[in-house]
Structure 1
Amino acid sequence: MIEVNSFALGGWHAPGAGASLIYSAIHGREIARAGGAALDFQDMLDHAKSVGGPALRKLTFHDRAKMLKALAQYLGERKQALYDLSFDTGATQKDHLIDIDGGIGTLFVFASKGRRELPDAHVYLDGPPELLSRSGTFQGQHIATPLQGVAVHINAYNFPVWGMLEKLAPTFLAGVPAIVKPATASCYVTEACVRMMLESGLLPDGALQLVCGRTGDLLDRLDGQDVVSFTGSAATATMLRATPSIAQNSVRFIAEQDSLNGAVLGPDATPDALEFDIFIKEAVREITAKAGQKCTGMRRLLIPENLIDPAREALVAKLATITIGDPRHEDTRMGALISADQKQDVLAKISKLESEAERVFGDLTTMDLLGKDTAPDAFVPPILFQCNNPDAAVEAHRTEAFGPVATLMPYRDIEHASHLLNKGGGSLVASLFTHDVGTAKAMVMSSGAFHGRLYINNRDSAKEATGHGSPLPHMVHGGPGRAGGGEEMGGIRGVMHYMQRTAIQGSPQMLSAIGETWIPGAPEISHDAHPFTRTFHELDLGETFNSDSRKVTLEDIEHFAHFTGDTFYAHMDEEAAKANPFFPGRVAHGYLLLSFAAGLFVQPDPGPVLANTGLDNLRFMKPVQAGDAIKVRLTVKRKTLRNDEYGEVRWHVTLTNQDDDTVAEYELLTMNAV
């Protein structure tokens, strides 16, 4: 018997009076007890806000990204223990790869994106500065800073590891502490993962707390700095949203809930097309993975009317090969539902579907279960329905049997298919299997507004496609309407759920200091030494080098044209150039100016500058003619440490002519030794 503890205020708390018993999905016997611990939720919130929050906010985005990577590595070395526990949830080894390895992989992705897309700073700049005055002495900047509250994560039973880590990754990266509430039925797996993370010593005190059991009055105590991120049923989400404190205090509420996801076999995907086989393979996988207990599972399979028979026959043939039983058995391809109670819920939903659809596969009365120590209490075989009149159907578009259950529906044309998809009232994902770009575009335009993700697969992408039911940390996971209206993950978009966007206004100096990024108009710093002779740490934001000037001659222009092969008429033909509304006559190549600029600011000797890695935001503002003179202003705009050996320096580069008019502007990126 596993005693599933909660973790609060820096210590573990054992189950107490009224604890719930947890049963194995495999054999139905008691395996754990959880809940009933005496927890003071106000103290937990105060601890997170006074200890965990400040500790996380002291770290930069890059510090927190490194922490996520280290956590992922730590868990990856210990995941076998999580596998061993998770079998009792009914999950197979392949299911573990989705949940446990998928969760660890999500940490890695957010760690990587945090290092690449966020600054090594405490403030995120949301877009460029806005000029709010004529001379530029008063400007505006949108920034984002961490919320100073707590993220309360309420997770579903089907993914006890991934469901937690996909929320924690953006939360910690934002700099916000979390209180995690897993579903009781699988909380013993979540608790084991939390123990690992805490034992790693990588998390600051107060950054993570765990509630196994009821949350009592926790939600009643939240305020406008807090966030609730929920995964589960629409009914529960509605109840939680109605908590008075959530409405009154405008508490952010992110929901990922019920979703009758659909999959469309394109009109071109005939049985002799590769797309037909791809669809059948993915549909069988989505019906059976996690015994169908996936919020992204395929529930409605939309098939062209003329293909409904071959599609049904192919699906039935594949589903007939699925072996069911003890997920620890090497020959088992589908395990059990989480519990006997969940089986009863699925059977009740199946009864509703049977009122308007014919069951074409799946016998609930006889099951051959693999494994000696296996009871049928939580097992359900794959069930396939066919609804021949989906336009008149009601239950097929609103009842989700959260198990290995799907319904075939015929459609007339792609417009009809979109209509049927949208009858689900909003989903997390819809998929389309087609090789016809016109079909794909039509589906996106008619159904995009109803789905959080549209997955299009065919012969070109199938080898590397991750699957209809695979939410990826790079992309948003959520959906409109029935699906809850939330957006989890989505790369840095997910981080923004736990941050406040603020418009700051002031002088360029103030904005530069707050954003840790120099902007034009802020003070410039001069040093006697050339900036290319100074190390990464020695360089100051705003440090500026002003070059000598160089005259551009007609010989320069013609030599560059012949040497590079760029003999565009604006550089070589005076009359043709004058006829162009953008040029006064023959002009210098833009890339010639960039080359001359490099010659004006580069320090040629070996030194801290290791490499030029590119340039961003290049703009040519005014033509340069023969006889004009150009000069360069080079300013340190931003510094980002990449490792112990070097960091990236972003330089603001401005080219001006003899009249001090700006002719070009860009940002130069170099890697500099520390």
Structure 2
Amino acid sequence: MSVLQSYIAGQWFGETAAKALPSAINGETVAHTHEETIDFGEAVAYARNTGVKNLLALDFQQRAAILKELAIHIQGRKDELYAISHHTGCTKADSWIDIDGGFGTLFTYASTGRKELPSGNVAHEGPVTQLGKDNHFNGTHILVPRRGVSVHINAFNFPIWGMLEKFAPAFLAGMPCIVKPATATSYLTEAAVRVINDSGLLPEGALQLVIGGTGDLLDRLEEQDFVTFTGSASTARKLKNHPNIMARSIPFNAEADSLNSAIMAPDVTPDDEEFDIFAKEVVKEMTAKAGQKCTAIRRVLVPEGQVDALAERIKERLGKLKAGDPNEEGVRMGALASQDQLRDVTESIDRLLETSDCLFGRDNGFKPVGAGTDKGAFIAPHLLLSRNPMEDGGAHDIEAFGPVATLMPYNGIEQALTIAAKGKGSLVTTLTTKDPAIAAEMIPVLAAQHGRLQILDAEAAKESTGHGSPLPMLKHGGPGRAGGGEELGGIRAVHHYLQRTAIQGSPTMVAAVTREYVRGAKVIENDIHPFRRTFDDLQVGESLLTHRRTVTEADITNFGCLSGDHFYMHFDEIAAKKTQFGQRIAHGYFVLSAAAGLFVYPGEGPVLANYGLDTLRFITPVAPGDTIRARLTCKRKIDQGRTSPEGHPQGVVMWDVEVTNQNDELVASYDILTLVAKKQ
């Protein structure tokens, strides 16, 4: 049998077999951990000295491009990972969540980085605040790489997705990662890291893998480092209170297993489509990954009058479920990840039965199909009924991390909210209702104790990704028992790994640091129109102050006829006089069009297209007879590695536009995004 190896300081490490890791399907040994002790001092030093240096030699955009290529590479090798994933007890659908979900997250963060992060390694988190009366002193915030190492301690249930959903934002933020998977399924994580290394895409030091225990790793961390954990609430508390983490105030993010709920609202009856949708969702969350999801439904809240009907619907679905070796035809539920997990779940069920009755489970003739499954970690799905859900304890405190859910009758919305809150903080709850008024009443209350809320009705069910599916663009985490942390959430996850710092100074100095033009900063003016300069030659701060244009009655009339906008403020002199403006004013969009006419260079040049306009504000109204002019300034350059359909390279330029009147009052303010050609 193979010996799993750690990947430390750029080398695969470990030769001597230690703990055997059995297949969850048939109990046969898949691999062994290694006996050799890891030098975590070497691992951390390598991450700091080599990993940080190599990652920061790249910028946000370049690291985003690597994530995309890495996702493509893993996607091309996924079949070999599927073959190994089978031993963790996964069906093909379960493996899809873990493997395709993993490289899908890389794709998402590659796109997020390209769209939302600048070139360079300083992200400006504006807006700039004017701190002095005459705009000589400004303040703003920047986000910069922490220049430390990120330690990721992961759970056994998602050996690949669990690694990549943390790695992607950390890598994008410029932090080298030391990944410690749960031992039971670490053979799949090791295989994924080998696939990643084979790509040759990651800078040296970007990723290290720990097989086995963490030893003195946490003792070696410093203030610039970061720790993130997924697993049980008890282990999260233990790690969070590690003396070195507390003494050095090392950021710690926990995503802990929680007692998530699904709530059927009082308006849903057995005759409604939503009733079946709800029952299907509960069964899906009980059986996907054999219930081994931190987001799985553990508590099912249902109106007292509908308990029996819902129990029958769920039992009917569970009775048709085929469990066993996922290679057998028709199998829809696999095994728990290990015999240890089987013992834990069995013990938890015994404890739950002290306060609940079993409606489906041990006495329903459960027998997994497939050779050798009698030695596997299989367990029947269990549906329980709480005897008194208004009491503390029981299913409000005990989590059987497997295919187990407890029905909890309630009487009225207030009682449902009270029961849901007894979970003391959850990752996710689903509310199934047909009535928007019920959703509007319950969701704000539930939100205080949940990280994510799904509102499920017949319409949403057509495209719903499911109660238990964290998405890269939405926050994953929850308060209280759920760990109090946040992962994913799109760009928010990248920000977690960056240091946010307030900076103060003159507009010119703030612009120099942020690499972004700040109003009031010194501008660069010359005889060449900015639109005539290639992306390579254009400098941030390069600016054009246009000639003037006087707005006439004819302008307003012609624009109204052309656009069809005959709003009274533009055409009714009597009505306009009654308003705060006291007179007719020009269309705001005419002002934009007129400003474009002032600053656009009409001839052929490197500016290819205007594809967006941000932060538009109309500040001072423009009346007939007013004279306007515009200042166009290169605000930011972003090199996203774009090319035209013909393969010509181009970059993105954001332009700051200020439109002023004859009194130098600001009339309109906005940013324009353009594609600008690079030198051939």
Fold conserved between structures, TM > 0.5: yes
1:672 corresponds to: 676
1:349 corresponds to: 348
1:8 corresponds to: 8
Rounded Cα–Cα distance in structure 2 between residues aligned with 1:215 and 1:369: 36
Report deviation, 1:650: 1.0
- CA offsets, 1:400-432, max 9 Å, x none? 001111111111112111111110111111111
Moved more, 463-472 or 522-531: 522-531
Rounded Cα–Cα distance in structure 2 between residues aligned with 1:373 and 1:612: 64
2:659 corresponds to: 655
**Equivalent residue runs for 1:486-635 within 5 Å:** 486-581=485-580, 583-635=581-633
Q: TM-score, normalised by structure 2?
A: 0.97
Moved more, 30-39 or 137-146: 30-39
Report deviation, 1:647: 1.8
**Equivalent residue runs for 1:463-474 within 5 Å:** 463-474=462-473
Q: Determine helix, strand or coil for the equivalent of 1:370.
A: coil
- CA offsets, 1:137-176, max 9 Å, x none? 1111101111111111000111000010011011101110
Say if 1:667 and 1:377 are closer, same or farther in 2 by CA, change over 3 A. closer
Percent identity, please: 52
Moved more, 168-177 or 120-129: 120-129
- Asked if the contact 1:364–1:380 (Cα under 8 Å) also holds between the matched residues in 2, the reply is no
- CA offsets, 1:112-132, max 9 Å, x none? 111111112211112211111
- Asked if the contact 2:635–2:653 (Cα under 8 Å) also holds between the matched residues in 1, the reply is yes
Report deviation, 1:392: 2.4
Report deviation, 1:226: 0.8
Report deviation, 1:488: 0.8
1:162 corresponds to: 161
Moved more, 155-164 or 491-500: 491-500
1:81 corresponds to: 80
Report deviation, 1:323: 0.6
1:34 corresponds to: 33
1:53 corresponds to: 52
Report deviation, 1:444: 1.4
Q: TM-score, normalised by structure 1?
A: 0.98
- Asked if the contact 1:560–1:592 (Cα under 8 Å) also holds between the matched residues in 2, the reply is yes
Task: Provide structure 2 residue ranges, at least 5 long, that are not aligned to the other structure.
Answer: 644-648
- Asked if the contact 1:153–1:167 (Cα under 8 Å) also holds between the matched residues in 2, the reply is yes
Q: Determine helix, strand or coil for the equivalent of 1:206.
A: coil
Say if 1:424 and 1:540 are closer, same or farther in 2 by CA, change over 3 A. same
Rounded Cα–Cα distance in structure 1 between residues aligned with 2:184 and 2:396: 28
1:312 corresponds to: 311
Q: Determine helix, strand or coil for the equivalent of 2:305.
A: helix
Q: Determine helix, strand or coil for the equivalent of 1:319.
A: helix
- Asked if the contact 1:15–1:33 (Cα under 8 Å) also holds between the matched residues in 2, the reply is no
Report deviation, 1:271: 1.2
Report deviation, 1:339: 1.2
- Asked if the contact 2:71–2:107 (Cα under 8 Å) also holds between the matched residues in 1, the reply is yes
Report deviation, 1:364: 6.0
Moved more, 465-474 or 132-141: 132-141
**Aligned AA for 1:647?**
G
Report deviation, 1:568: 2.2
- Asked if the contact 2:613–2:670 (Cα under 8 Å) also holds between the matched residues in 1, the reply is yes
**Aligned AA for 1:455?**
Q
Say if 1:360 and 1:376 are closer, same or farther in 2 by CA, change over 3 A. farther
**Aligned AA for 1:243?**
H
Say if 1:364 and 1:58 are closer, same or farther in 2 by CA, change over 3 A. farther
Rounded Cα–Cα distance in structure 1 between residues aligned with 2:186 and 2:218: 20
Report deviation, 1:365: 8.3
Rounded Cα–Cα distance in structure 1 between residues aligned with 2:332 and 2:619: 63
Rounded Cα–Cα distance in structure 2 between residues aligned with 1:9 and 1:612: 47
Rounded Cα–Cα distance in structure 1 between residues aligned with 2:240 and 2:34: 23
Rounded Cα–Cα distance in structure 2 between residues aligned with 1:622 and 1:29: 76
1:639 corresponds to: 637
Rounded Cα–Cα distance in structure 2 between residues aligned with 1:7 and 1:141: 41
Q: Determine helix, strand or coil for the equivalent of 1:310.
A: helix
Report deviation, 1:532: 1.6
Report deviation, 1:238: 1.8
2:646 corresponds to: none
Moved more, 132-141 or 174-183: 132-141
- Asked if the contact 2:616–2:670 (Cα under 8 Å) also holds between the matched residues in 1, the reply is yes
Report deviation, 1:37: 2.4
Q: Determine helix, strand or coil for the equivalent of 1:386.
A: strand
CA RMSD of aligned residues (A): 1.4
Rounded Cα–Cα distance in structure 1 between residues aligned with 2:361 and 2:544: 75
Q: Determine helix, strand or coil for the equivalent of 1:215.
A: coil
Report deviation, 1:393: 5.1
Say if 1:88 and 1:633 are closer, same or farther in 2 by CA, change over 3 A. same
Moved more, 600-609 or 340-349: 600-609
Rounded Cα–Cα distance in structure 2 between residues aligned with 1:280 and 1:646: 52
1:407 corresponds to: 406
Rounded Cα–Cα distance in structure 2 between residues aligned with 1:162 and 1:568: 54
1:249 corresponds to: 248
**Aligned AA for 2:5?**
N
Query: Structure 1 residue 294 and structure 2 residue 297: aligned?
Result: no
**Equivalent residue runs for 1:169-188 within 5 Å:** 169-188=168-187
Rounded Cα–Cα distance in structure 2 between residues aligned with 1:657 and 1:497: 43
- Asked if the contact 2:3–2:16 (Cα under 8 Å) also holds between the matched residues in 1, the reply is no
**Equivalent residue runs for 1:103-502 within 5 Å:** 103-363=102-362, 366-392=365-391, 394-502=393-501
Rounded Cα–Cα distance in structure 2 between residues aligned with 1:565 and 1:335: 63
Report deviation, 1:45: 0.6
Say if 1:398 and 1:15 are closer, same or farther in 2 by CA, change over 3 A. farther
Rounded Cα–Cα distance in structure 1 between residues aligned with 2:249 and 2:34: 29
**Aligned AA for 1:372?**
A
Report deviation, 1:376: 4.3
Say if 1:628 and 1:395 are closer, same or farther in 2 by CA, change over 3 A. same
Rounded Cα–Cα distance in structure 2 between residues aligned with 1:14 and 1:630: 73
Report deviation, 1:660: 2.0
- Asked if the contact 1:362–1:382 (Cα under 8 Å) also holds between the matched residues in 2, the reply is yes
Rounded Cα–Cα distance in structure 2 between residues aligned with 1:396 and 1:308: 17
Q: Determine helix, strand or coil for the equivalent of 2:409.
A: strand
Rounded Cα–Cα distance in structure 2 between residues aligned with 1:65 and 1:284: 38
**Aligned AA for 2:40?**
F
Report deviation, 1:559: 2.4
Q: Determine helix, strand or coil for the equivalent of 2:296.
A: coil
Rounded Cα–Cα distance in structure 2 between residues aligned with 1:277 and 1:177: 46
Report deviation, 1:632: 1.2
Rounded Cα–Cα distance in structure 1 between residues aligned with 2:276 and 2:119: 47
